[in-house]
Amino acid sequence: MMEFFDAVMLARMQFAFTVGFHIIFPAFSIGLASYLALLNGLHLYSQKNVYLDLFNYWIKIFAVAFVMGVVSGLVMSYEFGTNWSVFSFKAGPIIGPLMGYEVMTAFFLEAGFLGVMLFGRERVGPKIHFFATLMVAIGTFISAFWILSVNSWMQTPAGYSINAAGQFVPEDWIKIIFNPSFVYRLVHMVFAAYISTALVIASVGALHLLRLNKSAVGSAAGTFTQGSRQAVCLMFSMALWILAILVPMQMEAGDQHGLNTFKYQPKKIAAIEGHYEDAKPAGLMIFGIPDDKNRKMDYALEIPYLGSIILTHSLDGEILGMDTWPRDETPPMALPFFAFRIMVGLGVMMFILGMWSLWLRHKKTLYEKTWFLKYALVMGPAGFIAVLSGWVVTEVGRQPYTVYNLLHTTQSHSLLNAATVGTTLVAFITVYFVLFGIGVYYILRLMNQGPAGSELASTPVTQSKNAVYGSYLQNVGKGDSHES
């Protein structure tokens, strides 16, 4: 295999694999930590045990995901030294302190309060326990802040100078941290984390509601207590509210992020939009098959003027094509082109889910429609796929540079041979799939079990579906939960 790839390509594949594996867990942890803080706060405020039931259910899943996120993230730090030592040497004076700030602020905050959050409710009392949960949630957000600042600086570098050794050295830390694309990336990523988590919660809720429906008509053994029924309905409802509100906001954030990329990274926009030649006015390419070798788009299907309208807010705005720059200064088109369409397509499907939920909520049939529940169930991993697609758009679209327009990827790697990098790549793939496969399997098992509910009596479900949901909605409406 090794003769088909050079060391740089194998190092890129290794980093892509480890980052792609890693990014799922922090995205889940960011959203789930905030969800747990919300549940804990609502329980503290209302004293309704249904919130505590959900907290106790999701905190086990959070603990496993958090640990896998930390472990998978540590690996990348070593890769900077082993595979990308030239990049580390040249960009280290800026990247190093930013990563250090992340450890000193976010990681210490998370590590300091995580134990209290996981095991301390009975020891410290509900108020301090809520405070600890809130600190962990804030810690995950601060971690995202610093990591997105690092990545954004690599995309749109600012506030630096270059010394005699060719190193990027800091001149203005405010400009470095708040570089031109930072805010757009931070908002887009944090929204993506919340939406991805909401999709998982909605999917788990849909799974158990489908089972609940089956039990309610007597075709399966009743295993749902009143408490667990309320917990399932509540988490399903909360997740769909989050989707209905945040997905439209994410669309606006994505549009603003696109405008920023159009301004600072026009090569990436050319790849995303599928334009090899300058276009004025530019259509919106719906589909096509990029041919980088001959610099043309095969089977192109586009909507006239729409590309100009979206990116320039005018009918005849110009979008530069890939031919504007030399070939060795532009990214490959196919990956960002297709990944962007996957991300946008999934976003549209998320929007449909959120709007459909509002309609069913209005019709008071949110928990009953089988097709809707099945749609919510299969959309569970959609957020993570969209996150990975967005990452491909961002990182492949930045090529052929590690620091945009300043440091070429081929000038950033360590002096390793292909066999060495290829061997470690195979080792990483093997270990990751075994180790993290076990973790993911355990998370799926926990999700499959569903929340226990405070009412421990295993009362078989004998009511009709309407009676089940009617009872739940009536209780919620009266503020009468199932406290024991």
Residue 210 has pLDDT above 50, yes or no: yes
How many domains does the structure of the chain reveal?
A: 1
Q: Give a yes or no: residue 2 inside a domain.
A: no
If pLDDT is split at 50, 70 and 90, which confidence band does 464 have?
very low
State pLDDT tens for residues 50-74: 999 999 999 999 999 988 888 888 8
Strands 296-303 and 284-291: antiparallel
Q: What's the length of the chain?
A: 484
Asked if residue 22 belongs to a domain, the reply is yes
Strands (E), 292-438: 296-303, 401-403, 407-408
Q: Is residue 445 part of a domain?
A: yes
Q: Is the pLDDT of residue 455 over 60?
A: no
285: β partners: 302
Q: Which helix (H) or strand (E) holds 198?
A: helix 182-216
Q: Are 159 and 171 in contact (CB under 8 A)?
A: yes
Residue 129 lies in a domain: yes
- pLDDT for 290 beyond 80: yes
pLDDT, position 138? 94
Query: Greater confidence, 223 or 214?
Result: 214
How far apart CA 309 and CA 284 sit, in angstroms, is 9
Query: For residue 457, what pLDDT is reported?
Result: 37
- What are the distances in angstroms from CA 201 to CA 38, 138, 289, 389, 479? 14, 20, 36, 21, 23
* 484 domain residue, yes or no: no
pLDDT score for 4: 64
Write down the H helix ranges in 156-181.
173-177
Please give the pLDDT value at position 212: 84
- Provide, rounded to the nearest whole percent, the portion of the chain with pLDDT above 90: 62
268 belongs to a structural domain: yes
- At residue 453, the pLDDT reads 63
Residue tagged 């249904």 (tokens): 50
pLDDT value of residue 223: 58
Give me 288's structure tokens. Answer: 């096509």
pLDDT in the model for residue 3: 55
Asked if residue 140 belongs to a domain, the reply is yes
Q: Is the pLDDT confidence value at 474 over 70?
A: no
Q: Quick check: 481 pLDDT over 80? A: no
In a domain, 313, yes or no: no
Q: How confident is the model at residue 450 (pLDDT cuts 50, 70, 90)?
A: confident
Q: Looking at the predicted structure, is the pLDDT value of residue 390 above 50?
A: yes
User: Could you tell me the residue range of the domain that residue 106 belongs to?
Assistant: 7-278+320-452
Instruction: Report whether pLDDT(405) > 70.
Output: yes
- Are 107 and 3 in contact by the 8 Å Cβ rule? The answer is no
Instruction: Give the per-residue pLDDT at 370.
Output: 93
pLDDT at 111 over 70: yes
| Average model confidence (pLDDT) across the chain | 87
